[in-house]
Amino acid sequence: MDNDTSEFLLWEFSKIREIQVMHIALLLTLFLMTVTGNLVIIAAVVSDHHLHTPMYFFLMNLAMQDIGSVSVIIPKTVFNSLMNIRTISHSGCVGQVLFFIFFIGCDVSLLTVMAYDRYIAICSPLQYEMIMNRKACIKMMGSVWTASLLNASLHTIVTFITPFCSNVINQFFCEMPHIAKIACSDLYVTETGVLIFSAILALSCFSFVILTYVHIFSAVLRIPSVQGRKKASSTCLPHLIVFSLFMFTGCFGYLKPVADSPSYLDFIITITYSIIPPVLNPLIYGMRNKDIKSSLSRLFGQKLLLLKENEFCVFLFLNFNKKVKRQT
């Protein structure tokens, strides 16, 4: 135990290099999948004016937030493992806490807003354009960012306002429960209270989403056509599944007692709520969505056509040069 908190010591996966490489490969694979999938969704929404609707506006913002959340924790973890070091600076730890909680809070809030968007689209389709207009969507996103930033700032200030009793964090990044564990007793009690308050807010969002989906599924069951019911369910069920996975694992990870020693259970729970949802979101919302698929087909089709045209122009230019040389 060390009271020098100018830097913190993070959890070392293993002293065996082969196991370290295995962890690096796992995290790097998940990171690349997340970034690639979400960038594809962003490119599809930005490039196709047919997707400039509230649903895809929120989806694009969710993709940006997912990239942000994994970028806060995975690159530093992979770098530490490759360099065979465990340290993170005090300011680096503050930054991780602030931005990670900000992006996680944005995800919870935005998934709640997306549930409301689906509710209006299915239960009040005639009023959808009037309620979910451009100005309303921008206000909703502004509220999501503002509330998440205030929540993250509150957590960060409460966490780092007093000294720590140790600098050893039993997690692969600066995760809130593990930082609260090494804080001195007074701060630990205060931070636990803040975590419980945040959990209540998160469960309130979850309750709102559940209530919203009760109304949505009631409306879906009244749709006369089987195809209509199937289409409505296909857009709602994946959202509910991902949100439930994210909420239950996140609340369990933050509210359960923290072990005094490193635990692979903590590692698995953290991976489940912090990395798995950003990996699944592009697959669920993007790759299964016909509009996204059509947009990507047009986008990459145009690029392929442009590439072929450029190759053809180069071919003509080379042939023209050859003919000129022969004539001279």
Give the model confidence (pLDDT) of 163-176 as tens digits. 788 888 888 899 88
Rg (alpha carbons) of the chain, rounded to whole number? 24
In a domain, 230, yes or no: yes
Is 204 part of a structural domain of the chain? yes
pLDDT, tens digit, for every residue of 71-112?
999 999 888 888 888 889 999 999 999 999 999 999 989 989
* Structure tokens that stand for 306 in this block: 């442009």
pLDDT tens, 13-28?
Answer: 777 778 888 888 889 9
What are the beta bridge partners of residue 183?
164
- Output the domain CATH number for residue 63: 1.20.1070.10
Q: Does the residue 86 lie in any domain?
A: yes
Evaluate if residue 64 carries a pLDDT over 90. yes
Q: How confident is the model at residue 191 (pLDDT cuts 50, 70, 90)?
A: low
Residue 327 has pLDDT above 70, yes or no: no
Within 8 A by CB and 6+ apart from 162, the residues are: 183, 184, 186, 187
- Which stretch of 198-212, 219-233, 261-275, 312-326 has the lowest confidence by average pLDDT? 312-326
Q: Is residue 309 part of a domain?
A: no
And the tokens for 218? Answer: 């009631």
Query: Encoding tokens for residue 236?
Result: 């709602």
- Domain membership flag for residue 159: yes
CA–CA distance, 156 with 168 (Å, rounded to integer): 18
Residue 295 lies in a domain: no
CB 292 within 8 A of CB 51: yes
The answer to whether residue 79 is domain-embedded is yes
Q: Are 202 and 108 in contact (CB under 8 A)?
A: yes
Tokens of 54: 């509230």
Q: What percent of the chain has pLDDT over 70?
A: 80
Which among 186, 188, 185 has a CA at the least distance from the CA of 177? 188
Q: Is pLDDT of 1 > 50?
A: no
Domain range enclosing 40: 7-288
Identify the residue with better confidence: 306 or 145: 145
- The letter for the amino acid at 324 is V
pLDDT at 143 over 60: yes
* Residue 299 belongs to a domain: no
* Mean pLDDT of all residues in 38-64: 87
Q: What is the spatial distance between Cα 216 and Cα 148, in angstroms, rounded to a whole number?
A: 27
Residue 289 sits at φ, ψ, to 5 deg, of -95, 125
> Which amino acid makes up residue 72?
V
- CA–CA dist 130, 125 (Å, integer): 10
How many structural domains is the chain composed of? Answer: 1
Residues in Cβ contact with 156 at an 8 Å cutoff, skipping those fewer than 6 apart? 94, 97, 98, 101
